[in-house]
Structure 1
Amino acid sequence: MQYKAILFDLDGTLLDTLADLGNSMNRVLRSQGFPEHPLDAYRYFVGNGIRMLVTRTLPETVRDEKTLKRCLSLFLQEYDQHWKDETRPYDGVPEMLDALQTRGLKLAVFSNKPHDFTLLCVQELLSQWRFHAIAGQRETIPPKPDPGGALEIARTLNLSPSEFLYLGDTGTDMQTAVAAGMFPVGALWGFRPREELVEHGAQTLLEHPIDILELLK
């Protein structure tokens, strides 16, 4: 199959956002008198949208709607101020994007991060590459693993879903790719282990971003 486009997840795939997400949420938890979490635990808290991130970090006894909304609002304020304190592209991502762009492939991003933050991350940290479509979580786009956003991107690029490689780092990404009819590729440098990626449908796993070129020969 000759692929014409790559659809990327953002957090854990193109950008290492874990420290800024975790530190922002821990500051909120601290301010509310709740226990904080080690940064490594956030590998499993993230991936299903900001609301789910906040829910997972709160003690089970205080996950009522009022507390959740308050902490969600506080998190968005914190993250707005600190989203790029430590966030950077993973090693090898710039070289991968250079190579893909040189080959004429269309690039796109689909994230469960709020749409405005998704746009901001791409514009601030990945601006030297052209992304033909960028989609974060919006009311009109259901969160992954629903394939609606991925299919909307395929329509925007006027391509069949089967012409896409989908590169992501979580089981949610692999489920999205399978449901959309795209080729699911797991990123082992991201947040989740290989077992999760394989279990949820990864057809191949990459140890390093530049390895994606092997799939395009």
Structure 2
Amino acid sequence: MKVILFDLDGTLIDTAPELGDALNLTLRRADLPPVDADLVRGWIGDGARALLAKALSHAGAPPAKALSAWNEFAWDYADRCGTNSRVFDGVRPLLARLRAQGFRLAVLTNKEAGFAHRLLARHDLAEAFDLVVAGDTLNVKKPHPGVVQHALTALQAEPHEALLVGDSLTDLRTARAAGIGVWLVRHGYPQAELPATGPDAPDGFIAHFDDFHPQAAPRMAIA
């Protein structure tokens, strides 16, 4: 094992509060009702454009409204990246430990690159990663295996040398499609119920990053 790939929203950083702030500002300008935090958490995972479309649909706006509202939302969210979000407990020491052990680290996110880089920079995490593959870096995004393949090529690693750490069914499907290991955190934005056992279950669950050791045996769950 020499490469660890991390999801961003819900895995490394709790971004739901500031995404909700930006969404509700955009909705208020359009004279649409606000959305609550629980809904926002369940919509995160497919990128900011998809998040806005889900919020507008929930508010009863026509599909065409997503196009006209995008520029406002992009401005609102860029302004709020890193202002009402927090790095999950244990992330910073984990990244430092993995770097000291010689692992190459990357972020694989469906969030657009401009937002992802701004968020990492504002939380002083940018220097921890060798690579960021965002939702608009390629012409595909998670769960397409091409996202992982792109990262492994850039980091000069083979699938058996890599592990994906995420929080959702999307991350699980991404890893399985690419033929790499996958561990899921307990604190994220899963969007759907995650199998705890069986052939479709992740290789492990992480209750806290202090307890995460990528050298652990496959399918040895941490809970």
What TM-score do the two structures reach when normalised by structure 1? 0.90
What's 1:161 paired with?
A: 159
Between Structure 1 and Structure 2, how many residues are aligned?
A: 213
Contact 2:18 2:77 in 1 (8 A): yes
CA distance change for structure 1 residues 128 and 9 in 2, over 3 Å: closer, same or farther?
A: closer
Task: State the 1:194 CA deviation.
Answer: 8.5
Contact 1:169 1:188 in 2 (8 A): yes
Q: Give the equivalent residue in structure 1 for 2:93.
A: 95
Contact 1:17–1:88 (8 Å) recurs in 2: yes
The worse-fitting range, judged by mean Cα deviation, of 93-102 and 6-15 is: 93-102
Q: Is the 8 A contact 2:113 2:137 kept in 1?
A: no
Deviations 1:122-169 (A, max 9, x none): 233244743111111116341211121211000011101221110001
Aligned to 1:138: 136
Deviates more, 1:8-17 or 1:29-38: 29-38
Contact 1:34 1:59 in 2 (8 A): no
Q: Tell me which residue corresponds to 1:17.
A: 15
Letter in 1 for 2:117: L
User: Bigger shift: 115-124 or 11-20?
Assistant: 115-124
> Quick check: 152-161 or 118-127, which moved more?
118-127
Identity %: 29
Q: Residues 194, 207 of structure 1: CA spacing in aligned structure 2 closer, same or farther, 3 A cutoff? A: farther
Question: Separation in 1 of the partners of 2:191 and 2:112?
Answer: 24
State the shift of 1:205 in Å.
0.6
Query: Gaps spanning 5+ residues in structure 2: where?
Result: 217-223
Partner SS for 1:112? coil
Alpha-carbon distance between aligned partners in 2 of 1:178 and 1:104, rounded to the nearest angstrom: 25
Measured at CA, do residues 195 and 211 of structure 1 come closer, stay the same or move farther in structure 2, by a change above 3 Å? farther
Q: Give the equivalent residue in structure 1 for 2:82.
A: 84
Matched residue type, 1:178:
R
Q: What are the residue-to-residue correspondences of 1:179-190 with 2, within 5 Å?
A: 179-190=177-188
Letter in 1 for 2:145: P
Residue 216 of structure 1: aligned partner: 215
Moved more, 33-42 or 106-115: 33-42
Q: CA RMSD in A?
A: 2.0
Match of 2:220 in 1: none
Supply the distance in 2 between the matched residues of 1:148 and 1:193 (Cα, whole angstroms). 22
SS in 2 for 1:196: coil
Closer, same or farther in 2 for the Cα pair 1:190/1:112, shift >3 Å? same
The equivalent residue for 2:4 is 6
Given that 1:118 and 1:135 are in contact with CA atoms closer than 8 Å, whether structure 2 keeps it comes out as no
Q: State the TM-score, normalized to the length of structure 2.
A: 0.88
